[in-house]
Amino acid sequence: METWDAITSRRNVRQFDARTISDADLDRILEAGRRAPSARNRQPWDFVLVTDRAQLGELSKVWRGAGHVADAAAAVALVTADSDDERSRSVAQYDLGQCTMQMLIAAADLGIASGHASVDDQDQARRVLGLPQDRIAVYILDFGYPADRRLKPIVNPDRRPFDEVVHRGRF
């Protein structure tokens, strides 16, 4: 798919149909994440791929807003080192955001929709994903084919107007 079509087709989806995602497509999404840029190329991330239905159900309990993960075809937990240093945490968040977007665009390119979930209950995440004590799951991305309509370019996205967001030269 053309890049611009992938960028403009991506939307947050919370209801997926019953189709699974091929291993090749999952690997491509993960590869996109692996290639993301990060400060000093530190790559402060590990990805845990979950496709087992029962495990997806358990994973959906990490946050009250994560119910949609239970019905996804696959989820990727973004895992990073737990840190006491706010500056490190902040940079890692930015880099995880970059990594996320790379995966979501790669998915949209394949007609695969996606959603995000926060992680509130780290103990649950640690149990379900087998994380070491020094790691935390920061976000869960979930993927699948949309239950309603297939992805296609959105002409008028629900966003602040261009001329409000964009300033030329000075704020």
Find out whether 76 and 137 touch, Cβ atoms under 8 Å.
no
Fill in the amino acid letter for 10. Answer: R
Instruction: Rank residues 55 and 122 by Cβ distance to a copy of itself and give the closer one.
Output: 55
81 binds a copy of itself (CB under 8 A): no
Which has the closest alpha carbon to 17: 144, 151, 150?
144
Cβ neighbours, 10 Å, residue 112: 27
- Chain positions 25 to 44 lying near a copy of itself, rule: CB under 8 A, are 27-28, 30-37, 39, 41, 43
Angle among Cα 71, 77, 80 to the nearest 5 degrees reads: 165
**Residue 143: strand pairing partners:** 74, 114
- Chain positions 105 to 134 lying near a copy of itself, rule: CB under 8 A, are 105-106, 108-109, 116, 118, 129-132
Among 16, 63, 139, 143, binds a copy of itself (CB under 8 A): 139
63 binds a copy of itself (CB under 8 A): no
Among 13, 21, 104, 136, binds a copy of itself (CB under 8 A): 104
Cβ of residue 132: shortest distance to a copy of itself, in angstroms?
Answer: 7
Among 61, 70, 101, 111, binds a copy of itself (CB under 8 A): 101
**Cα–Cα distance list, 76 to 1, 84, 117, 138, 167 (Å):** 23, 25, 10, 11, 36
